[in-house]
Structure 1
Amino acid sequence: MVPTPNWIDRRIDSNLDNTLTQEHVVETMLEADRPFFSSRQLASRVKPDVSKATVRNRLSELQELDVVATEAYPDSVTLYYIKYPDSEWPLSPEGKRALMAESPLDRLSTRGFLTLQDTVGVRTLVLAGFQLSLALLAAGSLLTILGFDPGLESDIALWATAFNVLVFSGILLVAERIVHRVRSRFGPLHLLPTT
């Protein structure tokens, strides 16, 4: 059971005479693995003997207390979510910090790279390689067009490096796709010992 945050505890009404309490609605929303709910989805999760009208009443009360917010969509669909005070969208502050702090390359370990296990991290690395090769090609082209070469053949070195990075990134992408296909067909491959 997920503990109810203090800012919500201070706002909600602890009226136990209702068949469905505000606290129960909030707890149901916090325990779920999703940020948005329709009133029908919440009604199916809370109690089987509670009507959708009762659920909508509690949601309206929570909306007035500034605990729950809504997003309206076409076809009269209204979705409800917990309105965290320090977040502009329906994600907990902890989740928002995790998304902002951690990129796929932050999670990519040496083991994940060597075994091509972290597909998102490897693809991000491949994309960075493609972008780097494009930047090197542009720099080499610019040096060639301007004729600026202090005798070190820097434009040719940039072109060669760009093509090497491009080829390596392409090989890495093909290898990752092959390993991904083999894993999906035969299960995980244990190429390196686990620690």
Structure 2
Amino acid sequence: MSAIPPWVDERIDRNLDNTLTQEHVVETMLESDRPFFSIRQLHACIKPDVTRATVRNRLRELQEIDVVATETYPDSITLYYINHPESAWPLSPEGKRALHAETPLDRLSTRGFLTLSDTAGIRTLVLAGFQLSLVLFALGGVLTVAGTDVRGTQSDIVLWDTGFDLLFVSLLLLFAERTARWVRDRYGPLSLLPST
């Protein structure tokens, strides 16, 4: 269960006589990957024995105490979101920090790379390897068609060889990362290196 932030906890009503409590609605919204919900979407996440009217009533109560806010769009679509006081709609403070954070490659640590645990960083590295391979193949192709050599080094052959090597290393890294992720999903995290 996701911990309810203190500013929400002090505002919500603990009426346990309700079929659906305000606390359960907030927990559902916080645990979801979605930043906002329609009533239908939230109803599907909560439980089938609660009516949409009940979900609407709890959302209205939460809106009155400034825990939930809404945005209304054409065709009468209303989206509900947690009204985080620290950030603008519909971002949570964590989401706002994530938007301003560095790229996955900037965050990739030596430990994350060696243990293949930083999926986003490794995939960014693999994508960069694929793109660089494509550039090397294109340059090698242009030099081959043009019949140009740089100082007699057979530069077109060198570029083709380097492109194939880089492509092979990128594919190997992608395969290793997916294998490590499959092992972690199946057997849990492996402690290959001590954590800092």
1:162 corresponding residue in structure 2: 163
Deviation digits for residues 138-173 of structure 1 (CA, Å, limit 9, x no counterpart):
111112112222333222211111111001011111
Contact kept in structure 1, 2:126 and 2:170, CA below 8 Å: yes
Q: Take 2:189 and 2:82, find their aligned partners in 1: how far apart are those partners?
A: 38
Q: Take 2:71 and 2:137, find their aligned partners in 1: how far apart are those partners?
A: 49
Letter in 1 for 2:172: I
What's the TM-score, normalizing by structure 2? 0.63
2:105 corresponding residue in structure 1: 105
- For structure 1, list consecutive stretches of 5 or more residues without a partner in the other structure: 5-23
Q: Take 1:188 and 1:96, find their aligned partners in 2: how far apart are those partners?
A: 28
**Percent of residue pairs identical:** 54
2:190 corresponding residue in structure 1: 189
Question: Structure 2 matches for 1:19-168, cutoff 5 A?
Answer: 32-33=30-31, 35-39=35-39, 41=42, 68-71=70-73, 78-81=78-81, 90-92=90-92, 95-151=95-151, 152-168=153-169
Letter in 2 for 1:114: L
Contact kept in structure 2, 1:72 and 1:79, CA below 8 Å: no
Contact kept in structure 2, 1:107 and 1:121, CA below 8 Å: yes
Q: From the superposition, tell whether residues 53 and 175 of structure 1 become closer, same or farther in structure 2 (CA, over 3 Å).
A: closer
Q: CA deviation at 1:109?
A: 0.8
Contact kept in structure 1, 2:70 and 2:78, CA below 8 Å: no
Q: Take 2:180 and 2:140, find their aligned partners in 1: how far apart are those partners?
A: 34
Q: CA deviation at 1:52?
A: 6.0
Q: Take 1:155 and 1:109, find their aligned partners in 2: how far apart are those partners?
A: 35
Contact kept in structure 2, 1:69 and 1:83, CA below 8 Å: no
Q: Take 2:39 and 2:186, find their aligned partners in 1: how far apart are those partners?
A: 40
2:18 corresponding residue in structure 1: none
Contact kept in structure 2, 1:71 and 1:80, CA below 8 Å: no
Letter in 1 for 2:135: A
Q: Take 2:97 and 2:136, find their aligned partners in 1: how far apart are those partners?
A: 34
Contact kept in structure 1, 2:87 and 2:96, CA below 8 Å: no
2:15 corresponding residue in structure 1: none
Q: Take 1:115 and 1:60, find their aligned partners in 2: how far apart are those partners?
A: 45
Deviation digits for residues 6-40 of structure 1 (CA, Å, limit 9, x no counterpart):
xxxxxxxxxxxxxxxxxx9xxx59x8355213357
Q: Take 2:193 and 2:82, find their aligned partners in 1: how far apart are those partners?
A: 43
Q: From the superposition, tell whether residues 60 and 70 of structure 1 become closer, same or farther in structure 2 (CA, over 3 Å).
A: farther
Q: From the superposition, tell whether residues 145 and 100 of structure 1 become closer, same or farther in structure 2 (CA, over 3 Å).
A: farther
Q: From the superposition, tell whether residues 72 and 91 of structure 1 become closer, same or farther in structure 2 (CA, over 3 Å).
A: farther
Secondary structure of the residue aligned to 1:101 is: coil
